[in-house]
Amino acid sequence: MNIFINQAADFVGQEITIRGWMFNKRSSGKIHFLELRDGTGEIQGIVFVNAVSPEVFEKAGKLTIESSAAFTGTISKHPKLENTFELQVKDIEIYCIAPDDYPIGKKEHGPDFLLENRHLWLRSKKQWANMRIRDEIIWAIREYMRKNEFTLVDAPILTKTACEGTTDLFHVDYFESDAYLSQSGQLYTEAAEYALGKTYCFGPTFRAEKSKTRRHLTEFWMIEPEVPFMKFDELMDFEEDFLWYVLQSVLKNRRKELEVTERDISFLENIKRPFPRITYHEAIKILQESGKSDIKDGDDFGADDETYIAEHFKAPVFIHRFPTSLTSFFQEPDPNNPNVTLNVDLIAPEGYGELIGGGSQRSYNLELLEKRIAEEKMERKDYAWYLDTMKYGGMPHCGFGMGLERCVAWLTGSQHVRETIPFPRTINRICP
Ligand code: 4AD
Ligand code: MG
């Protein structure tokens, strides 16, 4: 019977088969210790000369790193370690003997070498843990959305419109005309909420970002919910509740993986609700008084500013009501101060930067939207459909966007977002 390694506890004393790869081996004349993995976990296979036929013992000796095989034997409890199991191997069916030159070894490799070998690097333990945590975050997001009655709406990838300004669009020749890879599915999710109520999209988005930082990819995934009739005073509670659900799911279901990443788990466990909430102007004041930033009123925050603010609070921090000049065209002005908008970013602690952005009450004032589209030098005709949605049944509504990789980077404690997506695309890398 075939089982997966993470089922071993249920099969102690039974003869089973595990199909997987050998990632390490220690041998003496009488015994081979085979370190096996199958994607669900790791187990040590023990091949003892007296317990197997000479052919099987020889097969075990031939196995090289990354060779694949089916290992049949009995599951036993590790003599000393709790919750650890071993496979007393009786038979081996080899699928592939890998050449003895697997490029990724135990020694340190530089980032360029690892990225060049991303197709193999993915097999390393930390990368495995990152991908398992990424998967957990994706499922937690979908589960949260479903529990809260959101309908998934898949936004198109090929678009005519910019959502977040025109500077970092990827251009595509679209037959006789121009198109762009989507920067954000937001405008489409907004259109769909008139039909479906609470909606979200969750797909790849693209930014021709010239920024070469540890927080930027040119292709990343974004979760973007929209809530009809929600007012700004409810938005931060919603974002907090959403992120809390994701955080608790990872803590509950991916403990082992968090340990593999060597993340400071207690920091995550000690996060408290509610998250601090400060205005843009309060944030500017904190930065100016710190003496660590030369930021001026009206400037956007740099990466160091975001890090300082989050360190100051040692928690995820909401910064709300940015000057209108820093915000996107669809954001509603604050009725109490027309120079700022009803928008909010959530800054992750520990230096991971803006985790949730674009959060705002969306305007449905057609005159204002037309004016801001013109100011941004965007073509009115490309946005006519978007304006149409407000014409027929416009209403206050709120939404936000969370970059999946920023969330994975924060929760896994990864130094760079390129380790949080299977095949990262950055300014100078599109292969593999
Ligand atoms: O702040 P942004 O640009 O907001 C929007 O796109 C809104 N339209 C979303 C919405 O309200 N529906 O991007 C949202 C988030 C950021 O906070 C960040 O987490 C992530 O997307 N992000 C990136 N992640 C990786 N690489 C990049 N180049 C990113 N740009 C943004
Ligand atoms: Mg932003």
> What is the domain range of residue 45?
5-96
Contacts 24+ apart (CB under 8 A), 126-131: 126/260, 126/261, 126/419, 127/419, 128/37, 128/39, 128/257, 128/260, 129/254, 129/256, 129/257, 129/258, 129/260, 129/261, 129/412, 130/257, 130/261, 130/408, 130/412, 130/414, 130/419, 130/420, 131/422
- The CA 330 to ligand 1 mean position distance, Å, reads 15
Residue 431: inside a domain: no
Tokens found for residue 263: 């993340």
Ligand 2 centroid distance, CA of 393 (Å): 28
**Is residue 108, in this structure, part of any structural domain at all?**
no
- Do 184 and 330 belong together in one domain? yes
pLDDT at 139: 98
Which residue type sits at 344? V
pLDDT of residue 107: 79
Q: Which of 163, 180, 210, 222 to mutate to test the pocket of ligand 1 (most atoms within 8 A of CB)?
A: 222
Domain total in the chain:
2
Give residue 288's pLDDT: 96
**Residue keyed to tokens 């898949």:** 154
- Residue 317 Cβ inside 6 Å of ligand 1? The answer reads no
Residues of the chain with pLDDT under 70: none
Asked if residue 376 is part of any domain, the answer here is yes
pLDDT value of position 259:
98
| DSSP secondary structure string for all residues of 281-328 | HHHHHHHHHHTS----TTPPPPHHHHHHHHHHHTS-EEEE--BGGGS-
Mutation choice for ligand 1 from 221, 354, 361, CB with most ligand atoms inside 8 A: 354
Minimal-distance CA residue to ligand 1 atom 30: 216
Domain CATH code at residue 185: 3.30.930.10
Task: Give strand pairing partners of 26.
Answer: 33
Joined together, the tokens standing for residue 221 give 């995934």
> What is the reported pLDDT for 105?
85
Question: Any alpha helices (H) in 97-173, and if so which ranges?
Answer: 111-116, 118-121, 125-147
pLDDT for res 165: 82
Distance CA 2, CA 316 (A): 44
Same domain, 243 and 141: yes
Whether residue 424 is contained in a domain is answered as no
Which residues fall inside 5 Å of ion ligand 2, going by CB?
357
CB atoms within 10 A of CB 257: 23
If asked whether residues 74 and 154 sit together in one domain, one would say no
Instruction: Point out the ligand nearest to the CA of residue 400.
Output: 1
Nearest CA to ligand 1 atom 18: 403
Q: What is the CA radius of gyration of the chain?
A: 26
Distance 308 CA to ligand 1 centre (A): 20
* CB neighbour class for 255 (10 Å; exposed up to 12, middle 13-18, buried from 19): exposed
User: Looking at the DSSP assignment, which residues form a beta bridge with residue 204?
Assistant: 221
* 141 and 189 assigned to the same domain: yes
